[in-house]
Structure 1
């Protein structure tokens, strides 16, 4: 996905499972990717360096690269 299509506040879904998930904590930690299922919906809360987005999912806030996200059209 083109990162210019994603903006803070938009709803996204996890379209592809990344090899791992990184928490958006002040000291990020790696978590197994199976915490979130493909199709999990979240809200973008901020933009991070390196084409990462902070996304709030029901199971927490994670840093996700835009290639794994798809913007939901409302």
Structure 2
């Protein structure tokens, strides 16, 4: 038979207030290149879906509009690592995982 622990019966629950502090940090070392408005970028992977950055956005299937190697500039930052990027075909909202900063050497 199992043991009955005192205070573990029904109706004897006690609540405690617990404060948890979470600190979000990246494990990767900073590469020195930060994305900012006006930064040039290069697309490294074509997103399956793209959304226009117009006042009334339109979500469309990326049927070859945005391709790896396309170059653009950051127009603004949106929540959740989404960026408004100005490309030659227009301005689109693109997730940060699909592009990287373009390194221009003098």
Q: TM-score range by the shorter chain?
A: 0.7 to 0.9
Larger relative contact order (CA 8 Å, sep ≥ 6): 1
TM-score scaled by structure 2? 0.63
- Provide the TM-score with structure 1 as the length reference: 0.88
Q: Which structure shows the higher strand fraction?
A: 1
Query: Quick one: distance in 1 between partners of 2:77 and 2:102?
Result: 17
How many matched pairs? 72
Gap regions ≥5 residues in structure 2: 1-29
RMSD: 1.6
* Larger helix percent: 1
Whether 1:55 aligns to 2:85 is: yes
Partner of 2:40: 11
Kindly name which structure, 1 or 2, has the bigger radius of gyration based on alpha carbons: 2
The unaligned stretches of length 5 or more in structure 1 are none
Shift >4 Å, 4+ stretches: none
Given the alignment of the two structures, is residue 68 of structure 1 paired with residue 91 of structure 2, yes or no?
no
